[in-house]
A and B are shown apart, each in its own frame.
Chain A
Amino acid sequence: MSIIRNTKADIAAIYERNADTLFRLALSYLQCSADAQDAVQDVFALYLKKTKEFTDTSHEKAWFVRVTVNRCLDLLRRKKVRNYIPIDEIAETIAQPTDEKAALAAEVNEYLAKIPEKNRAAVVLHYLEGYSVEETAEMLGISESAVKMRLSRGREALKSAMEKGKL
């Protein structure tokens, strides 16, 4: 069984495996590219400080996701955040952006901002990042039934937000 340790080669590999997911997750909470970058950077700083070792990449991703969510919730408690991301700011995070794609991505983040913070990570991981309920439960450190409950509440919040958006 190979252990993933935090040597320089591992950091780069861990970053490549996880950074995009963590950044998108942080963006859904903080609605600001600079703040999301800071949050992800803080998480990696914590990883280096804790000299954490992982048994496999699933274990690794679960740790990073959980700590990123905690960090975002901590930042949200400390500062007021806006509830949308400007389209031009989102466009800077997309490779080969088109006006349509940037607008859609901004719209998705705006909807995510309407979902209660407690339910948001489950919605992002399952519906947008494509993880199964089981994988989402493992990453968030909760039961599968708890994930389903959060997804259900997230859907309700999202449905309400989308219906208001159509008016």
Chain B
Amino acid sequence: MFDSEQTDAFRSISAPMELKEKVLALEQKKPHNNRRIILSISSAAACLLLVAAIPLLSRLPQKNPAFTVNGTAIGSDALLLNENNSGIMAASARTVQKYMAEISAEFPENTVITVSDGSLELTDTDTNEFISGGAECTAKGNITIRWIVDLPTENTQYYLTTDTDGKKKTFEMYYESASGAWYIMQTTDK
């Protein structure tokens, strides 16, 4: 494949010094745990105030989860996922054909995701690590949701619901048999 000279030349490439400086500087920016807590009357008072304010802080509006497909936000208008039956997963003659929709989501808090049909596979968008699978999953952060359903033969609706600390969103994915097209839209936001 490559001769020894080519391999040696490739391996002689090394990460530049400025990269090391930048990476170590990242660590400097990371907030450090303060192991030495110096207590004073004013500090104790500040802690008490914070504890008292926690119930109020929890009522502040939370950042909403974001849902996108190929970079396009899913809203109340139907978003075409694909058409002409593209995106069908390969299947053997003995298994039912399946369709997979891929949705990107950002959950600032722990979120329970459930589907009316099919199953979910959740992976970390940044690291591609598997998080969870099944008809109901829980996740937080930047997530790639793969929703796999049996391929229908007629117009069919499927529902995906997310619950973030009691705040629910519902999405409807539907299949149009005449065109073989799949669409997704957000239906409710409670």
Contact = CB atoms under 8 A, between A and B. Distances in A.
Contact of A94 (B12, B18, B19): B12
Interface in B119-134: 126-128
A19 B19 contact: yes
A23 B24 contact: no
Contacts of B23: 11, 15, 19, 40-41, 44
B180 to A, nearest CB: 26
B14 A37 contact: no
Contacts of A94: 9, 12-14
Contacts of A105: 9-10, 12-13
A113 interface: no
Question: Does more than half of chain A's interface fall in helix, strand or loop, or is it mixed?
Answer: helix
A155 B12 CA distance: 22
Nearest to A73: B128
Nearest to A107: B6
Interface string B17-33: 01110111011001000
Range, interface on chain A: 35 or more
Contacts of A27: 13
A82 B19 CA distance: 22
A83 B70 CA distance: 25
A96 B128 CA distance: 38
Nearest to B18: A37
Interface string A11-23: 1100100011011
Q: Which of B18, B19, B24 gathers the greatest number of chain A CB atoms within 10 Å?
A: B19
Given A8-B27, A48-B27, A94-B14, A41 B9 contact: no
Interface in A138-152: 141
Contact of A41 (B2, B5, B11, B26): B26
Contacts of A46: 126-127
Nearest to A23: B15
Contacts of B178: none
B26 A48 contact: yes
B16 A104 contact: no
Contacts of B12: 94-95, 97, 101, 105
Contact of A127 (B1, B13, B20, B27): B1
Contact of B16 (A6, A37, A158): A37
Interface in A24-79: 24, 27, 33, 37, 40-41, 44-46, 48, 50, 63, 66-67, 70
A158 B6 CA distance: 13
B34 to A, nearest CB: 15
Contacts of B42: none
A62 B6 CA distance: 25
13 contacts: A11-B24, A11-B27, A19-B20, A20-B14, A23-B13, A23-B19, A24-B11, A37-B19, A48-B30, A67-B127, A104-B10, A105-B10, A108-B9
Given A93-B15, A102-B9, 16 more contacts: A11-B23, A19-B14, A20-B14, A40-B15, A46-B126, A46-B127, A50-B126, A70-B128, A93-B13, A95-B12, A101-B9, A104-B6, A105-B9, A108-B10, A128-B7, A158-B1
